[in-house]
Amino acid sequence: MIHSNAATRLKEVSTDPVTLDYHGFTVTRSTPTIGAEVGGIDLREPLDDATLTSLRQALVRHKVLFFRDQDITPAQHVQLARHFGELEVHPVFPHHPDHPELVLLGGNKDMRGRENIYHSDVSWREVPSMASMLRCVECPEAGGDTIWVDMARAYAALPEAVKERIDGLYAVHDIMPGFGARMTPVEREINRKKFPAVTHPVVRTHPEGGEKILYVNEGFVTHLANFGEKAQFRVGFDFRYGELDLLQYLFRQAAVPEYQVRLKWRPNTIAFWDNRSTQHYAVQDYFPAVRRMMRATIIGDKPF
């Protein structure tokens, strides 16, 4: 497992050159804020430790990396992702028959996909994911893009008064809003016991890059755990509506285009993103065409 603390801290707008050289590959920035396309690397081949370290540095720096024309097998996908940490087995999504660490994503001609909400993968876990690695198996010629959002930039741009207001607040993250409808009543009871709602700081610190990150998402956050301890109000509805208004304001930050990058998929495109500092949204504009994907998710660390 490769770790690095060499990532630079957040800047208002990147002044990096458009194309940067790393050990074993190049990256070309997609936007001034987030995203980069990786070139000069074949993920079917073994990668040395220096290249893996550079990939991790690039991930922390650019937050999502795009690789084109990477015709890797499911076994290679798992092996590649495992270089960056232990892989999770998702409790709800269907798995690859030979590799339970790979989830199979996508609807079919009779059922739409349902990932079109801004979210960070498995933030409902006590120890959420560090990163996800998604490969396109099949996609429509048009539509089905994915959007990623730089939530460190979203936090940095907040008004100072809002930063003061959310300092010390904790949000409750829950598996059920996103996945409860996919479960039978028995499965809901089992998973409720296995995955109780958890609290994470509204503003977390990136353990490698050091940035402050706005860590609430409308896919899994249900409420603020300690809003009443800090809020000032006259009567009860001030408290309740104040909490709802603040959460909705924070959720909306992910929808700001200036914090986003958008990827048009092609078969054998891979996106590798940092779940600690980003949210994403899978655009569902292609139904009844089919989009099939495989994803490996790397276990991270407890937010602080």
pLDDT at 111: 72
pLDDT at 8: 38
Distance CA 224, CA 215 (A): 12
Quick check: helix, strand or coil at residue 276? coil
Residues in Cβ contact with 58 at an 8 Å cutoff, skipping those fewer than 6 apart = 22, 27, 36, 38, 65
pLDDT at position 233 is 64
Q: What is the pLDDT of residue 12?
A: 52
Helix, strand or coil for residue 163?
A: helix
- Write out the catalytic residue numbers: 119, 121, 280, 295
Rounded Cα distance, 109 and 124, in Å: 30
Bridge-partner residues for 223, per DSSP? 172
How far apart (Å, rounded) are the C-alpha atoms in residues 226 and 114? 30
Query: Residue 191: what pLDDT?
Result: 87
228: helix, coil or strand? Answer: helix
The top-level CATH class assigned to 1-304 is alpha beta
Give me the tens of pLDDT residue by residue for the chain, a chain 304 residues long: 555 443 433 445 566 778 888 998 999 999 999 999 999 999 999 999 999 999 999 999 999 999 999 999 999 999 999 999 999 999 999 999 999 999 999 877 777 767 789 999 999 999 999 999 999 999 999 999 999 999 999 999 999 999 999 999 999 999 998 888 888 899 989 989 999 999 999 999 999 999 999 999 999 999 999 998 876 666 666 677 889 999 999 999 999 999 999 999 999 999 999 999 999 999 999 988 989 999 999 999 999 9
**Nearby residues of 102 by Cβ (< 8 Å), 6 or more positions away:** 74, 77, 78, 95, 96, 294, 295, 296
Domain positions in the chain are 1-304
Cα separation, 173 vs 179, in Å, equals 12
> From residue 206, how far is each of 120, 151, 216 by CA, in Å?
14, 11, 14
- Report the pLDDT value the prediction gives residue 76, as an integer from 0 to 100: 97
